[in-house]
Structure formats: C-alpha cells, structure tokens
Amino acid sequence: MKISKRRHLISLSDMSDDEMAQLVKCGLWYAQNGTAAKKPLSGLLIGIYFLKTSTRTRTSFSSAALRLGAQIISYGSSDLQENTGETMEDTGRVLSRMLDGIVMRTAGCESRLRTFASFNSMSVVNAMTANEHPTQALADLTTMVQHFGDFKGLRVLYLGEGNNTAAALALSLPRFAGTELYFCTPRGYGIPAETMEAARQYAKKHGTNVTEQHDLKNLPGEFDVIYTTRWETTGTSKSDPHWKDIFKPFKVTQSLIDRYPSAIFMHDLPAHREEEVDASVLDGNRSIAFTQAENKMHSACAVLEWCLKPGSI
C-alpha cells in the first residue's frame, strides 16, 4: 500500500499566490522546452476519469502523463462500480490504493473530488466541474504570459456566460499585479456571487481590478485580450427557450474586435462559429485560440508534476 501524501488541484482558491505563479512558470517552461529533457513521472500510474465529453482536457492530461513517463488507465462514465451502487467513498478508497493520481471531470460539484482527495495517497486533479475549470485558467495564464511576456498592465475583456471557465479566470488573473479583468455577462447568467466576492478580495489584496457588468456600455477604450467561450458549457442546458436572444449582444463580432486593434482573441474551445464568435475572428490572424489549446498540454505537464512530485517545481 502506498503511503506518500500528494498534492491536489481541486479549486484555484485552495492555492497560494506563489503556487499559482509557479504553475504558470512551469507551464511556460514546458511550452518552450517540451518534455524530452526529463521524465519526472516515470513509474507512476494515473487514472483519467471523465464523466463528460472532452477533447482538449482529456487529451492534454493523457498526453502529458505519457510524455512525462507515467502510464495511464482511462475510465468512461459507465466503467466503475459506482454505477451499480458502490459508494463514492469506497470507490475512492480502492482507487487510492492502486493509482498515484487521478484526473477527473465530474457531472456536478466538487464533492466527489474532495472525497477522493481525502485519502491523500492519490493526487486528485479537477478537469472541470460545474462550478470551476481550474486547469483551463492555468492554460490561459500560461498563454497570456507566453504572448505578452508578463501580466503587467494586462487588460482582459471576457464576453459571455459566467460559466466555470469564467469563474476560474476570476479566481486567478486578479492575483497577478497590474491586471484588469472585465466581465460582460448576460443578466441572469453572470459570475456566481461568491466567486465574484472572492475575485474582488484577490483584487483588493493585489491592487488589481475585476469588474462585472451586463452590457457593453462604458467599457475602457483599450484591451489586450478579448476572451469568450461557448454559450452552453459541456453537459448543461438552459431553461429559457429564448436564451440565445439574451446572449446575442455578447457575441464577439468582427466589428467588436476591430474596436480594439491591438487586442488578441482567446477562446477555450470548442467553438460554435457564428454563434458566440464570428468565424473571421476565430480564424483570423489575431486569434491565438489554438495555441491556447496546445498550451493545455503544457500546463497539464506542470499540474501533474506539481501534484505528483511536490518540491520538484
């Protein structure tokens, strides 16, 4: 039986400022240097457990684990005995005796991850819950530093639903000095109040700015990043049959991006062209969305090394 205690990444709010900065720095290192130089996870076994569909996150963590020398076991939504009545506590207890780490995308809140993490001999990584997508934010931060060099003076405009990607951005970017983060979300589809309060506390501590409004009026005249996401997060639906009419003003159009000629465009993907973003924007020369997607793998390398090899970064 393994007895080593490992780190977990369940919520960005669990992390210190220094730890977050270390992960971004490490993600950038992997983006610049690749994985040929070291195999820190040799001999380790990682579970990849996804209850919802995924292209980028599942592939990034599977690829990262293999590139860093680990082996993986993949589980689908119907593979474990929880489907026949086994408790999540018993499932977690068993897996923690056989795996060194597990990367999980759940269908709901983070309670299942917290339960699995309670055994402490198996690292648990949140690959997206209904409330937060922490590894997406780390990839986003890595991408911004890669493009701009640092965070000083960085101004980010996020348009669209206050979903788990937006929540993770709110819990991370305001912790880097000199940043400004503006959320423009449809009324009734904003950032959860507790998340915004946490973001404001980070902003107060670090002298940064985070703002949410429900229209595009009175925005600053310059931004460095225009960011959007798909309007319906994986596995969710909206009760209002006319919700798309509410979202239309928040589309990233070519005319909007042209208002900010120095801004780049980011999107966490998958994208629905001509819904949340014009195809000309997503496929244009100022879009770095696919570099952002690639950086999910480099950031995943950083997360796995940080969780499974404490002290190595």
10-20 per-position pLDDT tens digit: 999 999 999 99
Average pLDDT of the residues in 28-38: 89
Confidence label for 232 from pLDDT (cuts 50, 70 and 90): confident
Q: Specify the pLDDT at position 108.
A: 85
The residue behind tokens 């005796």 is 97
Beta bridge partners of 25: none
Q: What percent of the chain has pLDDT over 90?
A: 87
Which residues face 104 on adjacent strands? 49, 126
Burial 50-73 (b: 16+ CB within 10 A, else e): bbbebebbbebbbbbbebbebebe
> Cα–Cα distance between 133 and 127 in angstroms, integer?
6
Q: Please name which of 110, 109, 99, 119 lies closest in space to residue 304, comparing C-alpha atoms.
A: 99
Q: What is the DSSP string of 177-225?
A: TT-EEEEE--TTSS--HHHHHHHHHHHHHHT-EEEEESSSTT--S--SE
- What is the predicted pLDDT for the residue at 83? 83
| pLDDT-derived band at 235, boundaries 50, 70, 90 | low
- When pLDDT is averaged across residues 269-294 and rounded to a whole number, the result is 98
Q: How far apart are CA 267 and CA 5, in angstroms?
A: 36
Q: In whole angstroms, give the CA distance from residue 99 to residue 73.
A: 9
Which residues are within 8 A (CB) of 177 and not within 5 positions of it... i.e. 6 or more apart? 151, 152, 206, 207, 208
Q: Is the pLDDT of residue 3 over 50?
A: no
Question: Considering the entire predicted model, what is its pTM?
Answer: 0.95
- C-alpha to C-alpha distance for 235 and 130, rounded to whole angstroms: 9
Q: In this structure, which topology does domain 136-293 adopt according to CATH?
A: Rossmann fold (3.40.50)
- Is there a shared CATH topology between the 12-132+296-308 domain and the 136-293 domain? yes
Q: Residues of the chain with pLDDT > 70: what percent? A: 97
Q: Is the pLDDT of residue 107 over 80?
A: no
- Strands, sheet with 101-105, edge to edge from the N-terminal-most edge strand: 71-75, 45-50, 101-105, 123-126
Q: Is 257 exposed, middle or buried (0-12, 13-18, 19+ CB in 10 A)?
A: buried
Mean pLDDT calculated for residue range 251-280:
97
pLDDT computed for residue 234 by the predictor: 65
In Å, how far are 26, 132, 293 from 11, measured between CA atoms?
18, 7, 21
List for the chain the helix, strand, coil content (%; round to 5). 40, 15, 45
> Strand pairing partners for 265?
226, 287
Mean per-residue pLDDT, 245-271 = 97
- Amino acid in the structure at residue 178: G
- The 3-class secondary structure across 239-305, one letter per residue, is CCCCHHHHHHHHCECHHHHHCCCCCEEEECCCCCECCCECHHHHCCCCECHHHHHHHHHHHHHHHHH
pLDDT band at 1 (very low <50, low <70, confident <90, very high): very low
CA atoms within 13 A on the CB side of 134: 22
**Angle, alpha carbons 70-73-79 (nearest 5°):** 165
Domain range annotation of the chain:
12-132+296-308, 136-293
CATH architecture of 12-132+296-308: 3-Layer(aba) Sandwich (3.40)
pLDDT digits (tens, 9 = 90+) for 185-195: 999 999 999 99
3-class state of residue 88 by DSSP: helix
pLDDT at 312 over 80: no
Task: State the average pLDDT for the chain.
Answer: 94
